[in-house]
Structure 1
Amino acid sequence: MTVAFIGNPNCGKTTLFNAYTGANLKVANWPGVTVEKVEGAIDSHGVHIHLVDLPGTYSLTSYTMEEQVSRNFILSDDVDVIIDVVDASALERNLYLTLQLLELGRPVVVALNMMDIVEKRGMEIDLHRLPEMLGVPVIPVSALKRRGLSVLLHAAIHHKDHVHPDRLIHNHSDETHHKHNHHQDFAMVYSDGLEDKIDQLQNMLKSAYPDLFNYRWHALKLLEQDPEITKKFPLEGIERVVDRSYETDIINQKYSFIEEIIQEVVVNQAKRAAATDYADHILTNRWLSIPIFLFVMGVVFFLTFFIGDMLRDYFESAIDILSVYATDGLLSLGADEMLISLVCDGIIAGVGGILTFLPNICILFVTLAVLEDSGYMSRVAFIMNDIMNHLGLSGRAFIPMILGFGCSVPAIMASRALENKTDRYRTMLVTPFMSCSARLPIYILFSGMFFPEHAMVVAYSMYLIGIVVALICLLLLNLFHRQQADNALLIELPEYKRPSSRTVMISVKEKVKDYLSRAGTIIFAASILMWFILNFGPSGYGDMAHSFGAILGRGLVPFFAPIGLGYWQISLALLAGISAKEVVVSSFAVLFDGVNINSTTALATLAASMGQMGFTELNAYCMMLFSLLYIPCAATIATIHAESHSWKWTALSVVFQIAVAWVLTFIVYQTGSRLF
């Protein structure tokens, strides 16, 4: 059987899915994380169960892509049981989606999650009265503490064929009693006027579409003038019944019923935690919020460098020892000089050089995961809303940009949460300007070599420049295509909470796993390829200065010279970086005669020799700046094409990013050359 998990963002749905399947999915305390359905399978109670985790959604009205994904799957014949994951601490908001699901006429089981938070607040929920009013099983669970999981699946299995609600008991007064005898059939009953229209539309649908499933739900959608349903099921004479959109009426009456439910089932209802209100008073303050955000990100990069550099010493020592042992071992075996060069100067120098930055990368991943799970990151979209509105976008567009600090691929995919196609394209265009974790080794290497006393500040400036450049580009695009944000920002600000160590570990584990897999595949292959083209030329194996790589690099020098990067080694490293940004660093290790980038002494010597070539602090800063802004990695380019379904737009994005990178680096280098 197939069970679909659906619920509001931040209701614990993905955590519940992880608890069942053991999947290490991305879990974060902010909306827009699960942007497509994720599937898994388990065997329980003697049944093979196919589990589907759907994107978080507040309703089944298809405005955003995530809502469309959820609605289309729920309406398909693939679902046997719907598990509606409800945040028990925010019952009033979550029940709106529940009432919509009940109207689908499919088996529904309510998973009442986060009961531990309800208990902490001194609230109580009447677990006998709530299922009486909804007509479906209501199972209390705690996804985080893994309580009630077996009972929930047991209820889903036994509720599989229950398409009609269980016993409904409503205590309506004479004023709210309806002449229609629908209370024994439906949890949600509307006013007499709406019920009359629903009955008329159902009769018209039965006549026109005799094989249609769930006439009541389709009638409601026609009353709401839902574009998809109206187009798919046209009715002759419908204008006599649907003289306007009744969506607002339906919404208001649903919330009236929800208020009735809350009054009957919730005891000692508390307001949102005072600590969250107090924190938001400061952290989302109109004047303080952005300086606080910049300070928080500054702390993130202080920890990334301060703690990461301490741990990096151990990795550097390990790589040095490995390189010595590899050289000695190959020499003792009588290996050829070419093989020794390939292993030591190519593979170990390239891949090993990247692995030494793992501590810094891990610290960055941990701090970002803590911010996400604490609830702070969702505030960033809120505090950026005013700025983004002036750029023709809502604050929600800033979420993919923030995700870009981790990796551009999921960041591009997260643009699906935007309702407008134009907004999605504009967001995808500038998201690669955010400094992804793959660029961090470049910053660490060059800031450590040329700005040893101020390495953290120099690297942090790259992240700020990325944000500023993205916002300026959006501003210029909006000037050419004047547009005000046509949708207000609707985003949940979850309560601040202590980050879950398990959630943080899952997030960091997946990112580190991806980083290591890139080191073992793309970077490994790139290091070997780079060694090959640098050690072979038209005359065979020999001098690097006459190799294929040198010939190619010199061909690129005229393009890079005006921006201070007119060295064939640098040109070739940047070209190789298109495969993956870490390859710039691994290539650098191979390009400069297998230099040991794990050795502080070797790097100081290299910086001095590069200085004699004319490569100064200004050139190093331009190198980092261009690496920040130029073409994203191949995986990001492929994702842009997959999301836009257009090679033309993908090519335009690549050209746009190269142009922005070249122009800004040119301005910095030419200005710096004249000033210094």
Structure 2
Amino acid sequence: MSIKIALAGNPNCGKTTLFNGLTGSNQFVGNWPGVTVEKKEGRLKGNKDVIIMDLPGIYSLSPYTLEEVVARNYLITERPDVILNIVDGTNLERNLYLSTQLMELGIPVLMAVNMMDIVKKYGDEINIGQLSKKLGCPVVEISALKGTGIMEAAGQAVALAAQSRQNAAVHKFSADVEAVLEEIERCLGDGIPEEQKRFYAIKLFERDDKITARMSMVPDVEHLIRRTEEALDDDAESIITNERYTYIASIIDGCYRRKHRQKLSTSDKIDHVVTNRFLALPIFALVMWLVYYVSVSTVGTWATDWTNDGLFGEGWEMFGRWVPGIPVIVGDFLASVNCAGWLSSLILDGIVAGVGAVLGFVPQMLVLFIFLAFLEACGYMARVAFIMDRIFRKFGLSGKSFIPMLIGTGCGVPGIMASRTIENDRDRKMTIMTTTFIPCGAKLPIIALFAGALFGGASWVAPSAYFVGIAAIICSGIILKKTKLFAGDPAPFVMELPAYHMPTAVNVLRSMWERGWSFIKKAGTVILLSTIFIWFTSSFGFVDGSFGMVEDLSDGLLAVIGRGISWIFAPLGWGSWQAAVAAITGLVAKENVVGTFGILFGFAKVAEDGQEIWGTMAQTFTAVSAYSFLVFNLLCAPCFAAIGAIKREMNNAKWTWFAIGYQTALAYAVSLCIYQLGTWFTTGTFGIGAAVALLVIALFIYLMVRPYREGRSLTARLSAGKAV
């Protein structure tokens, strides 16, 4: 029979690192039933009968956020065999608040005090034996980052789960509160297991509406709560909170000795610089420029060129031998078996050219993912959320909205899903609408393609794409907050800033591989099917009244479709049917933009840097129109998978269409201004297009500076659908 261990702890306590260390590659990622909060489950290394559930990082079991609701419901309904409570040893008092709640659930609890290496480095002392005695539950020391003591902790958790009863002592509140809790426990009757009654009693005392509704609280209890509140001159929730901290303080006094420090810690010294009011943003801009410069313009470019020229090109010379690339090998094989012409074209011009054009950029993406994983693991990205809170709050959002955007740098789908952490419904909707403005991994091939092909690998192209996304978010926040749809103060932002530390290579590489493998799997499924469709519609068409394979791609079905819609994009500078088709296929998956060009222009020419690509792409783009195309694809409606995530999160078709419409309209307006004004500045020719662009900018500025007005009609139309 399997044993279930639930990992519970505060955010940034090292819970995910411990989960990775205990499960290794035996992990399964999905969503909690009914919600889109990520659910991680794994099996203990060396013991497949032990299932480990990684609960969302939470500060308490009070139902303020969806994560807290998910964690609480799992614990009280699923009833794991044991809770492995991870506690940050450097913030013991704050972490013990959740611990006191966990012990009231009646489930065996094993406390693992993490980061003990840092505690000892600071000269602090935690008396583990005394802490265990006072709490009434076993306590162990671990260092999840270094892997110290983690398997021993898992072994003790398994042994504790085998015990038939819970030995943990439940702390006592003051006499007045205790009397009320005992009366509520008595009133709950036989419908609640004995070991859970205290937890439910406390939740009823705290006026937890969802628990109250589930328990159908006995009316007699209400006057007890009011009497206690009057006696202690405070509300019930505050009373319980104060009592908890009083209890925690009594434990800390005898178990934790903190060394007196006159000097600032290394993390504090670094934060004085990187979170400085004036230096924070320039440093952040410099860091992101460096990340994208290395990923796209130097190391990433070298790795991508090596891959494209070799693996997906003619081949390369290795160890004195010429090794042919995949197109050469596949082409020779197809020729040797006398493959039919249409099938050979499908494989070489469709699958190899389309999918290969996308996979050729994987090295650049892996370099970018390594940098992002390092910045997240070392603690810097948590500071960025703090920095962005100062900015976002001025424009109607909080730093909490930056977390989904940060996650969205890998993929927009989990970024959109992460918006569930935002309590304020208006802020959550706005975050969903703007998260995909930040370039995700799928958009990096588009950035790399145009940076290398039309801008000579200029170092400013890739970072500018990132900051165009942030600018779009800020401007959207200003504009949307002036409507009744999104009016209101942003939600408060509370976030733990972990101490800076050097991430382990294993964790960084695991994070990089998870993101990269997700991209590769998409290339092997969605993009493969898309490229086959693109090849068929571009290679077949009607010529002289008969349908068949065409020699000129401009006679294919895709060209007919492209010419039918290309007029829409002509004001943006890229009215050719190839560019129009590439933009539309990007709705299926953004990687399809590169794959489409790979088929329509020939893979070898798209993949390589230099004059060949310039000669081919210059027939479709100028430098200004290329940047217009790039910005449009960065800001417009995301891929189908992300649109599906928006639909799930909005839970309303009208809100989904509003989000897609807003994203596409903003992308069109910005791209129009870039091309029309860019052409005016570079050629000196002022035309109707430039005049329209100036009017668009004037309207944009008006929407940003105008006083607040309630958009009643728009609110009424959108609210007519199903409420979220």
TM-score by length of structure 1 reads: 0.90
Contact kept, 8 Å, 2:349 with 2:602, in 1: the verdict is: yes
Give the equivalent residue in structure 2 for 1:550: 559
Matched residue SS, 2:51 = strand
- Name 2:622's counterpart in structure 1: 616
In structure 2, the CA distance between the partners of 1:581 and 1:549, relative to structure 1 (3 Å rule), is same
Which of 273, 276, 280 is the equivalent residue of 1:282? 273
**CA shift in 2, pair 1:36/1:525, >3 Å:** closer
Which structure 2 residues correspond to residues 205-604 of structure 1 after superposition, within 5 A?
Answer: 205-206=188-189, 214-232=196-214, 233-243=216-226, 244=229, 245-269=235-259, 274-304=265-295, 305-318=297-310, 319-321=312-314, 322=325, 323-452=327-456, 454=458, 456-481=459-484, 483-485=487-489, 487-538=491-542, 539-542=547-550, 543-593=552-602, 596-601=605-610, 604=611
Instruction: Give distance in 1, aligned partners of 2:265 and 2:673.
Output: 50
Offset at 1:307? 1.1
Q: 1:645 aligns with which of 642, 651, 656?
A: 651
Identity %: 39
2:210, 2:495 → 1: CA distance? Answer: 25
Distance of aligned partners of 1:104 and 1:662 in 2 relative to their CA distance in 1, 3 Å threshold: same
1:178-193 to structure 2, matched below 5 A, reads 186-193=169-176
The alpha-carbon distance between structure 1 residues 210 and 370, as it changes in their structure 2 partners (threshold 3 A), is closer
Equivalent position of 1:173 in the other structure: none
Q: CA deviation at 1:495?
A: 0.3
Distance change in 2, residues 1:211/1:303 (3 Å) = closer
Distance in 2, matches of 1:461 and 1:452, equals 15
CA contact (8 A) 1:130 1:265 kept: yes
Rounded to whole Å, the distance in 2 between the matches of 1:477 and 1:586 is: 35
SS at match of 2:58: coil
Mapped contact 1:24–1:506 kept (Cα < 8 A): no
CA contact 1:375–1:494 (8 Å) conserved in 2: yes
Q: Alpha carbons of 1:469 and 1:424: their partners in 2 closer, same or farther (altered >3 Å)?
A: same
Residues 197, 269 of structure 1: CA spacing in aligned structure 2 closer, same or farther, 3 A cutoff?
Answer: farther
1:127-148 alpha-carbon deviations (Å, 9 max, x no partner)? 2111110011112223233333
Cα displacement (A) at 1:381: 1.2
C-alpha displacement of 1:213: 5.7
Residue 152 of structure 1 corresponds to which residue in structure 2? Answer: 153
1:31 matched to which residue of 2?
none
Counterpart-to-counterpart distance in 2, 1:92 and 1:26: 33
CA distance in structure 1 between the aligned counterparts of 2:457 and 2:600, rounded to whole angstroms: 26
1:487 positional shift: 3.4
Distance 1:359 1:164, change over 3 A: closer
Q: Deviations over 1:531-578 (max 9, x none)?
A: 111110132111321111011111111211121121101111111111
2:56 is aligned to 55
Within a 5 Å distance, the mapping from 1:660-671 to structure 2 comes to 660-671=666-677
What is the deviation of 1:219? 2.1
Deviations 1:85-134 (A, max 9, x none): 11222211111111111122221111222222222222222121111100
Deviation at 1:35, TM superposition (A): 4.0
Other structure's SS at 1:625 match = helix
CA distance in 1, matches of 2:278, 2:138: 47
Question: Structure 2 vs 1, CA of residues 202 and 128 (structure 1 numbering), >3 Å: closer, same or farther?
Answer: same
Partner of 2:167: 165
Relative to the length of structure 2, the TM-score reads 0.84
Aligned residue for 1:84, secondary structure, equals: strand
Per the TM alignment, residue 326 of structure 1 is displaced from its structure 2 partner at its CA by 3.2
**For structure 1, which segment, 6-15 or 587-596, has the greater mean C-alpha deviation from structure 2 after superposition?**
587-596
Deviates more, 1:433-442 or 1:650-659: 650-659
**Whole-angstrom CA distance in 2 between matches of 1:657 and 1:254:** 47
**1:345/1:256 CA distance change after superposition, 3 Å:** same
Aligned to 1:39: 41
| Structure 2: tracts of 5 or more residues without a match | 30-35, 230-234, 315-324, 683-724
Contact 2:27 2:43 in 1 (8 A): no
RMSD: 2.4
CA distance in 1, matches of 2:619, 2:154: 70
Moved more, 218-227 or 494-503: 218-227
Per-residue CA deviation, residues 174-197 of structure 1 (Å, 9 max, x unaligned), is xxxxxxxxxxxx442112222222
| Residue 654 (structure 1) shift | 1.8
Letter in 1 for 2:282: P
Counterpart code for 2:528: F
Aligned partners of 1:457 and 1:25: how far apart in 2? 39
Letter aligned with residue 625 of structure 1: V
Bigger shift: 72-81 or 260-269? Answer: 260-269
- The answer on 1:9 being equivalent to 2:27 is no
* Aligned partner letter, 2:154: L
Q: Which has the higher contact order (CA 8 A, sep 6+)?
A: 1
Larger deviation, residues 381-390 vs 479-488: 479-488
Letter in 2 for 1:197: V
Deviations 1:8-40 (A, max 9, x none): 11112122222222237699xxxxxx9433222
Q: Determine helix, strand or coil for the equivalent of 1:285.
A: coil
